Amino acid sequence: MKLFKKDRAPSQAEAPVEPVKTVGKGRATPKRKDAQARRLHPIVPVDRKAARREARAKRDEAWERQRRAMITGDERYLPARDKGPIRRYIRNYIDARYSIGELFMPSAILLLLITVGFSAIRGSQAPNLLAFYIMVGIYLLFFAAIFDALVCWRLVRRRLYAKFGEEKVRDGGVIIWYVFSRCMNLRRWRQPAPQVARREYPS
């Protein structure tokens, strides 16, 4: 008996599988390599002494410009806290008036020197009594200077609102400490230096 084997259908030829190219960031791009190299090896000037001299010269020049601006009032080189028309108006208004705060520092120093002088006198109650009155006088002068600075702040704020508008003045920052610091200082010690005479109020 002849056995017949059923021929299997020829298997389809498998299509060749193309290798899949993985696209990723496994390798750094040339630009990234350059950036990494720059971070690892920062650019250093060849002559460090010359670079330091140049940087020092620039700092000295900037400081000198600011020092001259403090005298002349040139706003291009003034510190940021003193720039702007609002700050200039405040300075001119305070410099045009007489402030009690101008007298506080020299008066306090004078009264303390008097107290020290009289304290050398022994065998008398006068120095203790005098020191008490002097301390009372210093405190009274201090509170009077604070009150005068508050009055000045209210007056100058009213003028600023009328001239520049309330919104612009508020956007310019808090002005009360700027007013106080200038009122409590001697006229000749103020920085920037006064640019107006007494009673020459800004319009």
pLDDT digits (tens, 9 = 90+) for 100-146: 999 888 888 888 888 777 776 655 566 677 778 888 888 999 999 99
Residues 66 and 107 in one domain: no
Instruction: Check residue 36 and give its pLDDT.
Output: 59
Q: Which residue numbers in the chain have pLDDT < 50? A: 1-6, 8-13, 20, 22-23
Q: What span, in angstroms and rounded, lies between the C-alpha atoms of 108 and 140?
A: 11
The domain in which residue 63 lies consists of 45-78
- pLDDT score, position 100: 93
Q: What is the dihedral of CA 50, 52, 58, 63, to 10 degrees?
A: -140
Boundary of a domain, candidates 78, 102, 122: 78
Instruction: Provide the pLDDT for residue 5.
Output: 47
Q: Which residue has the tokens 């200077």?
A: 145
pLDDT (0 to 100) of residue 117: 76
Of 35, 62, 78, which residue constitutes the final position of a domain? Answer: 78
Whether 66 and 52 share a structural domain = yes
Q: Which amino acid is at 57?
A: A
